[in-house]
Amino acid sequence: MLGFPDGQLAVSGTWDLSTPSQPWSVHLDGLQIPLSVYQDWFDWPLPLTGFHDIEAKWSGLAADKESFNVGLNGEMKITLIGAKANTGSDKAWPTQITSWFSDQEVDKNKPQAFPFEILSIDADRGQLTGSLQGETRLSIHWPLYRADAPRIR
């Protein structure tokens, strides 16, 4: 269990290092987690502030990057709380979010309300599909086993 000033994250899982494919599984259940943890801990390009609740169950293989990318299975639901995006762009949200996962330089000067409240993701053999829901709805399609950025529409 990890504690945050106003929240907590419970994590449990397994990782079998005794087999070449290294199967693993993880379950996450958290309340009031700062969105900044993804940048701070993992250096993920998510210019978001605020908080979120999360429930996720993932499993896959960890022998190498390719086995991870084609073996990822599971589901996740995130409820965003007071989320703001630090972006100076006036581009449409699908374009802005896609740019976070590309090599493009992202202008992060101006915080603005992030118009989404729920992020749902399902993974089936490395194929991620999901949605962002709020003032509007966007669909997400991201085959991890390809070098493409996620498609968000």
Is the model's pLDDT at 88 over the cut of 70?
A: no
Is the model's pLDDT at 55 over the cut of 90?
A: yes
Instruction: Name the pTM for this structure.
Output: 0.86
For residues 117-136, average pLDDT: 95
The whole-angstrom separation of Cα 151 and Cα 153 is: 7
Residue 44 φ then ψ, to 5°: -75, 145
Query: For position 103, what pLDDT does the model report?
Result: 64
Query: For position 86, what pLDDT does the model report?
Result: 82
Q: Under a CB-based contact definition with an 8 Å cutoff, are residues 103 and 111 in contact?
A: no
The whole-angstrom separation of Cα 108 and Cα 139 is: 23
Q: Under a CB-based contact definition with an 8 Å cutoff, are residues 140 and 128 in contact?
A: yes
Query: For position 23, what pLDDT does the model report?
Result: 98
Q: Under a CB-based contact definition with an 8 Å cutoff, are residues 53 and 79 in contact?
A: yes
Mean pLDDT rounded to a whole number for the chain? 90
Assign 70 a pLDDT band (cuts: 50, 70, 90): very high
Q: Under a CB-based contact definition with an 8 Å cutoff, are residues 102 and 68 in contact?
A: no
The whole-angstrom separation of Cα 73 and Cα 61 is: 9
